[in-house]
Chain A
Amino acid sequence: MRLGEALATCPSLVLVEQDPARAEQAWEGVLRRLEDAGFAVEPAEPGCVYFETRGVERLYGGLRKALERALAAVGPRLDARVGAAERRFAALAAASVARAGQALVVSDERRSEFLGPLPLDLLPLERERAGELRELGVRKLGELARLPGDAVAERLGPTGHRAWSLAGGGAAASPKGRRPPAEIAEAIEFPEAIDNELTIRRALTALVDTILARPERADRFVRKLAVTAKLVGGGSWRRTATLRDPTAERDRLRAALGPKLTELPAPVTALGLELVELTASRGHQLELVRTEGAQLGERLHEGLRQVRAATGTGSVCTVVEVAPWSRIPEARALLVPRDE
């Protein structure tokens, strides 16, 4: 419909300019909420995201419940719909035909039966190629899937062959969870999954030290920070903490995040820390008498700074004892890069 016709039909129509930045911010909010709920998201385009549920199904009590949690995380305003299947394209097709707020699950046995009657429009095909298929009498995914793959490739080229492959369900590639954006972030990847709280707390301490030393922080104070984790099943986990008074004191940051670690639903393969919001200044009491050892600490930091300047970033590391009780000697401590 043309704009004039639309305005004539509905005089109270309000024109809204495109706002891609705001849309992207809103989309980022959706992704963040999904990540907060434990899903490792792989955004395909604004409005479309793939995620793996295996890592969180036990947490929420099954696939259906996990999908409902995902819909709840997106919120009711966006009319979200979700499809679940073993294969990526089948899941996308299921989400495309689901009603708003519905979670449609397609089992692998029913995949062909489900995809068969769906229209070709669901395939990422160029208009000419889709037209060519229609001229050949192919209008449904099932009709395309039944054609010999080689013949489709010969007639329609690589894109046609890919469409033929998708019509059969596509590849069973798992979604790759993105790395959530943050102002400043640090992460430690563990050589193996860790579920010991003490170990995770020690890793968090090392992360706090490292992130406070990042030059990008530029002496700013932390208002909001988040602790993230990659779960052993492939999911992710994220909790945020907003501080009443912005601070750059490691003990206060650790105290704010420490209790969150008890909420981890599964062993973690990586632990991350993000400084989500930084503030330029805060009112703080200057110290009248310097604490004991402060001068020694300053000298030590200066020495380390000089070593780093001479040898490069990442050359100075801290040994963090993570599992001193382990019977396997190399599992007792980790070497964590230290920049300060």
Chain B
Amino acid sequence: MVANSRSSCAARPAGRVNDPRPALVEARFDGTPCRVDREQVALVREEWRVVDRWWTEEPVDRRYFDVVLESGRNAVVFRDEERGRWFSQRA
């Protein structure tokens, strides 16, 4: 019999970099965040929207906010409109 030459075959899944992480966000009535991870938002620096892959089974519909927290820390959070949840991510 022919020896199984597949033993040395290695399929490695490539990992994602900068995956979104669930965040604890409280939002105002207009959807802008007022508290991120139990810390007050001092300033919303920028807001933008990403709508993509709407033609696939995994559409992306996100509302991003670049905020400055009371401690001076910067954070980027987004609301996933598809899942109705908040996430933080390095933009």
**B-contacting residues of A (Cβ < 8 Å)?**
20-21, 24-25, 28, 179, 181-192, 203, 210, 214, 216, 270, 272, 274, 314, 317, 319-320, 327-330, 332-337
Q: Does B85 contact A (CB under 8 A)?
A: no
B43 at the interface (CB under 8 A from A): no
Name the B residues within 8 Å of A191 (CB-CB): 14, 16
User: Which size class do B's interface residues fall under?
Assistant: 20 to 34
Chain B positions within 8 Å of A, measured between CB atoms, are: 1-2, 4-6, 8-20, 50, 52-53, 56, 58, 60, 89-91
Q: Do the beta carbons of A20 and B5 come within 8 Å of each other? A: no
Given A28-B2, A328-B60, A185-B8 contact (CB < 8 Å)? yes
A21 touches B16 (CB 8 A): no
A-B contact pairs, 10 of them (CB 8 A): A184-B9, A188-B14, A192-B58, A330-B16, A330-B17, A330-B19, A333-B17, A333-B18, A334-B17, A337-B12
Known: A187-B12, A330-B18, A330-B89. 10 other contacts (CB 8 A): A20-B1, A179-B6, A181-B4, A182-B9, A185-B8, A189-B12, A191-B14, A210-B12, A272-B11, A335-B17
- In the complex, the answer to whether A334 meets B18 with C-beta atoms within 8 Å is no
Known: A21-B1, A329-B90. A179 touches B18 (CB 8 A): no
- Using known A-B contacts A20-B1, A190-B14, A329-B18, determine if residue A216 contacts B60 with beta carbons closer than 8 Å: no
The CA-CA distance from A21 to B1 in the complex, in Å, is: 4
Bound Cα distance A262, B3 (Å): 34
- CB of A185 within 8 A of CB of B12, answer no
Q: Which residues of B contact A187 (CB under 8 A)?
A: 9-12
Partner of A24, one of B2, B11, B12, B17: B2
B14 touches A182 (CB 8 A): no
Closest 5 CB pairs of A and B: A335-B15, A185-B9, A334-B14, A187-B11, A333-B17
Contact yes or no, A328 B6, CB < 8 A: no
Interchain nearest-CB distance for A219 vs B (Å): 16
| Complex CA distance for A216 and B10, rounded to whole angstroms | 12
Residues of the B chain whose Cβ atoms lie less than 8 Å from the Cβ of A189: 11-14
A274 and B90 CA atoms in complex are apart in Å by: 36
Chain A residues closer than 8 Å to B15, beta-carbon distance: 317, 334-336
Q: Give complex CA distance A274, B18 in Å.
A: 30
In the complex where A20-B1, A327-B52, A332-B17 touch, is A181 in contact with B89 (Cβ < 8 A)? no
Contact B50 A183 (CB under 8 A): no
Complex Cα gap A192–B20 (Å) = 16
Report B-chain residues with C-beta under 8 Å of the C-beta of A270.
11
Residues of A within 8 A of B60 (CB): 328
Q: Which residues of B contact A327 (CB under 8 A)?
A: 50, 52
User: Which residues of the partner chain B approach A216 to less than 8 Å between Cβ atoms?
Assistant: 8
Nearest chain B CB to A191 CB, angstrom units: 6
A314, B14: Cα distance in complex, Å: 11
- Asked whether, in the complex, the Cβ of A188 is within 8 Å of the Cβ of B6, the reply is no
Q: Please give, as numbers and ranges, the residues of chain B lying within 8 Å of A192 by CB-CB distance.
A: 56, 58
With A and B bound together, what is the CA distance between A181 and B89 in angstroms? 40
- State the CA gap A272–B12 with chains docked (Å): 10
Chain B neighbourhood of A272, CB < 8 A: 11
CB distance from A317 to the nearest CB of B (A): 7
Q: What is the bound-complex CA distance between A274 and B10, given in angstroms?
A: 10
CB distance from B79 to the nearest CB of A (A): 15
CB A318 to nearest CB in B, in angstroms, measures: 10
User: A269 → chain B, closest Cβ, in Å?
Assistant: 11
Cβ of B51 to closest chain A Cβ, rounded Å: 9
C-alpha spacing A28/B58, complex, angstroms: 38
Structural contact, A328 and B10, CB atoms closer than 8 A:
no
Q: How far is the CA of A250 from the CA of B58 in the complex (A)?
A: 36
Using CB atoms, name the residue of chain B closest to A183.
Answer: B5
Contacts of A319 in B (CB 8 A): 17
